[in-house]
Structure 1
């Protein structure tokens, strides 16, 4: 393994970890607080998911000698943000996280469930994801309306840097957020002292509560979004780059690490899609057999990041929430555009996809169950009805 190590893989691994963390940690924090987590619990969850994905990335890449990139479920975090507080509070959400981890493990070990997930119409899965993301994608415009002097620099940094290199657009927005916070936001007295105190790691155990609402409103949509939007595309990215991994062990391993980290507030870890392309591509090394060092380095970086996320969240808390939501929204615009395109690309089933998108985006819930699940149900019924009538006409 040491002979395979290279400076190129080292650079790409560090860049992968930075881009992956900086581009969407705000989404994770917003998602966890959205389902009732306190600031301390959200910090603990972010720390747990960093360590879990880092260790699993090191383990899988070292064992398989393949560039297996792992990430937290950004679409899943956006789903949580859109779901809103659930009956029973964050303990019920953590129960849902644990059930989601079990389902991911089963999907890896039990082939019929994996086939069921793969059988979900792509248009409906993408429509649900687009409906989940659109709420956060409104945040940049809302931030400018809230205060142009604070919100506009963040959006301009993202747009201008992105015009030259999309890879650095979100880190640029994050840098602008830090500059705005440093020079444009009045920091309360004593806040910096509190920031120093938050450097110490403080994991917080959350006793899970298992309810039907937690299963249907949190676990099931989180499982579907994670499998359809992260795990399955993650396998596709590896195959595009010439690798043929066995999906089942990868799914099962991410499910195990999701289970281990869930009691500390982590929602889910999964195969990466965007950063997987960074680790599996030629930029990581010209020789495909030596690229696995890039995700190993990225995993080490995440494990190092983990204990210090308290300082990150304390720093973010100094700013108006809409500003960090704007950064999160900018990070998700590309994902929203892709999911919307894939949802409405085919004429057949377009109305069903529209129903799924609209019901999910409405944010309404019935019987304590989030709109994401009902959107998928409504779209599935519409699609089934359309196919039934088409058969009768035929």
Structure 2
């Protein structure tokens, strides 16, 4: 396995971790603050989340030999940020355990895997393209905020495509980081926290209103807004995702790490697309080494805790946006091409794509779920055909009994 490890695997894994943390770590901080957690408990949350993502990604990637990457539940964190007011931290841990139990039971039962098989490939690809679209767009929007930085990364991307395709994204990351450092775009280095922290467990207490008001919604948004897009990401990349095993592993990880702050783990979508795309490796059979590398980096970030995360927070936003957008260009293009290839499902695929891009949200459930729902409904309606009578009528009694006459002679 190590003999197959390439620099492109390490680069894709590092970029996935960079994008994963910087895109949503601020929401985690808001959720922690809403609970009134101590600094020690906050550090424990970050350690538990990093180790949980790292270990589950390693287990699933090496077990199934495919780029299965996991993540914390970002919409779940947003839900917690607004739903944990007047809830004690011990009651919150009880709700996390309840969510972990539901995730585990879902994986063991296998019903979610059977449901995922019913999604047409065109809708799956359209959903993935819609989810990733804004990340691709962010690279170009960042030209307004830091033109020189993003332009240098764009030139590195083109140079990589021409001369070192396998290491394109590594070149983009290095050029961007060096340019930002030379321009002084990084934040105050004095904000780096180099201290080490130990995990701190919080004993749970179980409150039925909190379990139903926090734990159940946390499970629902994690399944709809995270696990379904994560499954679709792997399918669109040409893999058969281990749905039931993945849900079971992430559910057990949630049960084990909930007392330390691991509120919910699930399949990753955006970061998984980085590891499952051609930038990670031309050979799909060895792309799992990219997600395994990301797993190792997640563990290191978890152990490093506040040091690494504070480094992420001082990085210029244009650097992160540029790296993420350029890394996902190929995946977005391939997904759109596959989604719109067949004329039969084109309308449903377009509706799926545009709903996902819109970012709509109802009842705390994000656009990915509604895009999938709308796409499946339209696909079902457009493919429904009225039952028609047979074109050839049955023979009557008279014609059925009429003797067969020989053909008239010719010539």
TM-score, normalised on structure 1?
Answer: 0.71
How many residues are aligned here? 362
**Distance in 2 (alpha carbons) for counterparts of 1:27 and 1:180:** 22
TM-score, normalised on structure 2?
Answer: 0.68
Per-residue CA deviations over 1:132-171 (Å, capped at 9, x if unaligned) read: 2111111111111222122211222223223334442222
Structure 1 residue 328: Cα displacement: 1.6
Query: For structure 1, which runs of at least 5 residues remain unmatched after alignment?
Result: 1-5, 238-245, 285-290
Higher-helix-fraction structure: 1
Contact 1:129 1:336 in 2 (8 A): yes
Query: Which one of 332, 337, 340 corresponds to residue 341 of structure 1?
Result: 337
Contact 2:27 2:81 in 1 (8 A): no
| Greater shift in the superposed pair: 114-123 or 299-308 | 299-308
Q: Which residue of 1 aligns with 2:88?
A: none
Query: Which one of 3, 13, 19 corresponds to residue 8 of structure 1?
Result: 3
| Greater shift in the superposed pair: 250-259 or 84-93 | 84-93
Distance 1:275 1:201, change over 3 A: farther
Contact 1:46 1:266 in 2 (8 A): no
Alignment partner of 1:317 is 2:313: yes
Per-residue CA deviations over 1:169-205 (Å, capped at 9, x if unaligned) read: 22222222321331113556xx32322x245357688
**Distance in 2 (alpha carbons) for counterparts of 1:61 and 1:386:** 38
- Is the radius of gyration larger for structure 1 or structure 2? 2
**Distance in 2 (alpha carbons) for counterparts of 1:113 and 1:333:** 29
Matched position secondary structure for 1:126? helix
Q: Which residue of 2 aligns with 1:176?
A: 175
Matched position secondary structure for 2:69? strand
Structure 1 residue 326: Cα displacement: 2.1
Q: How does 1:375-386 map to 2 (within 5 A)?
A: 375-386=371-382
Distance 1:393 1:129, change over 3 A: farther
Query: Which one of 358, 361, 373 corresponds to residue 354 of structure 2?
Result: 358
Structure 1 residue 327: Cα displacement: 1.6
Q: Which residue of 1 aligns with 2:407?
A: none
Q: Which residue of 2 aligns with 1:371?
A: 367
Q: Which residue of 1 aligns with 2:302?
A: 306
Q: Which residue of 2 aligns with 1:71?
A: 69
Q: Which residue of 2 aligns with 1:55?
A: 55
**Distance in 1 (alpha carbons) for counterparts of 2:153 and 2:43:** 23
Contact 1:44 1:203 in 2 (8 A): yes
Query: For structure 2, which runs of at least 5 residues remain unmatched after alignment?
Result: 34-38, 86-91, 205-209, 390-411
Per-residue CA deviations over 1:57-113 (Å, capped at 9, x if unaligned) read: 555688x6x646542359x86xx5xx9955853859999997886665445422343
Q: Which residue of 2 aligns with 1:89?
A: 82
**Distance in 2 (alpha carbons) for counterparts of 1:247 and 1:364:** 26
